[in-house]
Structure 1
Amino acid sequence: MMMKAIVLREIGGPEKVHYEEIPDPILEEGEVLIRLHAAALNRRDVYVTQGLYHGLRLPAVMGGDGAGEVVRVGKKVTNVAIGDEVMIYPGLNWGNHLRVNGPNFSILGVPKDGTFAQFVTVPSENVFHKPAYLTWEEAASIPLGGVTAYRAIVTRGKLQEGETIIIPGIGGGVATLLLQIAVAIGAKVFVTSSKEGKIQKALELGAAGGVNYRSDTWVKELREMSGGADLSVDSIGGEQFNSLVSLAKPGSRIVTFGATKGQVPNLLLPRIFLKQIDILGTSSGSPEECKQMIDFFKEHEIHPVLDQSFPLEQTKEALIMLDKGENFGKITIKIPQ
């Protein structure tokens, strides 16, 4: 049998992806075959098209996030059944250490074929039942960004009700999920962006305030507005990381999981150790954290923020939109049935 899929055959950015017909995936005994109803984009998908992701083998069926219906199960599968509606945890081979992934860890789509397709196979332990209150596209948009955000805020950052958190660069999928989780915990959330419209949308989602980092005085404005941060969660790096150190309260935490603006220049270590600041690294989360995150979303009935939806054949256009950084929330893909 054949299926429709998005395939990357050469490096060169989002323009190099193709909508093709390829053979259905082969089911192994410990796996489930899922008919996907929706998928979602992550910044990682753009990096894959640019050849910036370790382990890439071409041709590649892209995509890490997805949700759909189980249509076949392997002989050793007992936790799900045919007809179950599920969402996919995209992390493979996490390992036995709860704090850090093992050396063979990878994310669906690189190198194992991913979710930008009509069907996908994954190990049975990588599927969780879809909460009934979520649409297909909402369910597809949560797993990778959600578990990354949950691990950053809850597992590593240990955010508490009433604390102040700063989330720089609001707008992307993980950042909006960070905001929603922090608001549900009961924290006071402050954001930064270069777009006033994104700050306004963050306020509508429950942020207490926000500043435009294009302003020469944004650090001063944010300090006066927030009183300083108990926790900052950063994926940007670069010079603005120094600003987060400046904004940190004594005894506070900074969680970092990315460096889109590169290394931190002229970092003054005394600013960290004299203020007793904890710098905590994180990345994607474990299967157990994914389960905890889904339970948290169910408890608080969190609906992820969706920006725009594209049909599978227009995934190239969706990736170009994501690469431009114009979205607020997740960009999703509708899969033809």
Structure 2
Amino acid sequence: MRAFVFEKGSFKVTELPKPEAGTLEAVVAIKAAGLNRRDLYTPGRLGNDSESLILGSDAAGVIEAIGEGVTDWQVGDEVIINPSLRWYENSDVPPADFDILSFPDNGTFAEKIAISVEQLERKPAHLSFEEASVIGISPLTGYRALFTKGQIEAGQTIFIPGAGSGVATFLIQMAKNVGARVIVSSRSEEKRNAALEIGADVAIDTHADWVELLKEEQIDVVIESVGRATFNRSLDVLKKGGKIVLFGATTEEVVDFDLRKFFYGQYTLYGTTMGSREEFRACLEHLAEFNTHPVMDRTFSLDEAEQALEYLKENHQFGKITITI
């Protein structure tokens, strides 16, 4: 089979043996695989002396073979892959054996994958394979941040710095689905306008004076993923007693902030990453209930996978990127 791998410091498309279904596993013929920022960071974790590893965490496809003991699935079923490995029940933190698909195991940028059927879900009927291929890391991360941690409700206001990421576009749509008010920021006027088109109520320039622009707003929850560049600015516009939910740091990871200001403001800070299968299934139900489609930016072929990673690295996208296979 053909696969896109990182090996000894470089990317390449190569031929690999076809996987076989083990006990309680299925082989999925992948139709499309979604990109995530994780795919940019994994090569750095592997180093230049690494053995071959297939990148990619998200995918949608069709079951091609099933292994011994599989009873709930059959050949021909259309599925999506849950990349949150072995985290089944909702909990404050994932279990000790939790991993995210593609490190240390082979991922989804390949024609086929053998994977535990515990990680499979039915492909939502209202989504194409390309759309379904990005229902993984981004919406799961966003769902847990928004509902499990942020506990956002109708009538509340949420602020999302950085409007163009895949998670942000899901956050905008899911928050609007439940009746929340959504404010976003971006350096790009094009991305600010795109955010308004998919439901954001207010879109402000990242370089503007947030305190002045948002002085009439009562922001209940900030969903932060930018890091040092925006963390304190986000805290400045959060209402007293509000919540910050943090799931990433695309800028510098170390942040200094005023502890006295924080505890006088009675703020709550939550950290979160990924989510459980229970939350993943709730997320799928949410998307189906509201007929929500992911915001798709661009589609690349498997041979263009390295170009797709470079495109993501340069932050050109608004929404999700997928690779058709």
TM-score bucket of the superposed structures, by smaller chain: over 0.9
Decide whether aligned partners of structure 1 residues 263 and 333 sit closer, same or farther in structure 2, where only a CA change above 3 A counts: closer
Superposition deviation, residue 228 in structure 1:
3.2
Which among 5, 16, 24 is matched to residue 22 of structure 1? 16
- The root-mean-square deviation of aligned C-alpha atoms, in Å, is 1.6
Write the distance in 1 (CA, Å) between the matches of 2:172 and 2:199.
8
Structure 1: which 4+ aligned runs deviate by more than 4 Å? none
Please show how residues 1-337 of structure 1 align to structure 2 within 5 Å. Answer: 3-11=1-9, 16-49=10-43, 51-52=44-45, 58-94=51-87, 98-215=91-208, 217-224=209-216, 227-335=217-325
Q: Does the 8 Å contact 1:47/1:53 carry over to 2?
A: no
Cα distance per residue 1:171-211 (max 9 Å; x no partner): 01111111111111110000010001100000011101011
Write the distance in 2 (CA, Å) between the matches of 1:107 and 1:264.
23
| Bigger Cα displacement from structure 2, 232-241 vs 306-315 | 232-241
Superposition deviation, residue 264 in structure 1:
4.8
Cα distance per residue 1:59-82 (max 9 Å; x no partner): 101100000001111111122211
Tell me the TM-score normalized by structure 2: 0.96
Superposition deviation, residue 25 in structure 1:
1.5
Cα distance per residue 1:106-163 (max 9 Å; x no partner): 1111111111000011110111101111000100111111110000001111000010
User: Unaligned 5+ residue runs, structure 2?
Assistant: none
Write the distance in 2 (CA, Å) between the matches of 1:219 and 1:231.
15
Write the distance in 2 (CA, Å) between the matches of 1:320 and 1:70.
31
Q: Does the 8 Å contact 2:169/2:319 carry over to 1?
A: yes
Write the distance in 1 (CA, Å) between the matches of 2:288 and 2:138.
16
Q: How many residues align?
A: 324
Superposition deviation, residue 298 in structure 1:
0.3
Q: Does the 8 Å contact 2:26/2:66 carry over to 1?
A: yes
Amino acid in the other structure paired with 1:104 = D
Tell me the TM-score normalized by structure 1: 0.92
Cα distance per residue 1:280-320 (max 9 Å; x no partner): 11000111111110011000010000000001111010000
Percent identity among equivalent residues? Answer: 39
Any idea what SS the aligned residue of 2:133 has? helix
Any idea what SS the aligned residue of 1:175 has? helix
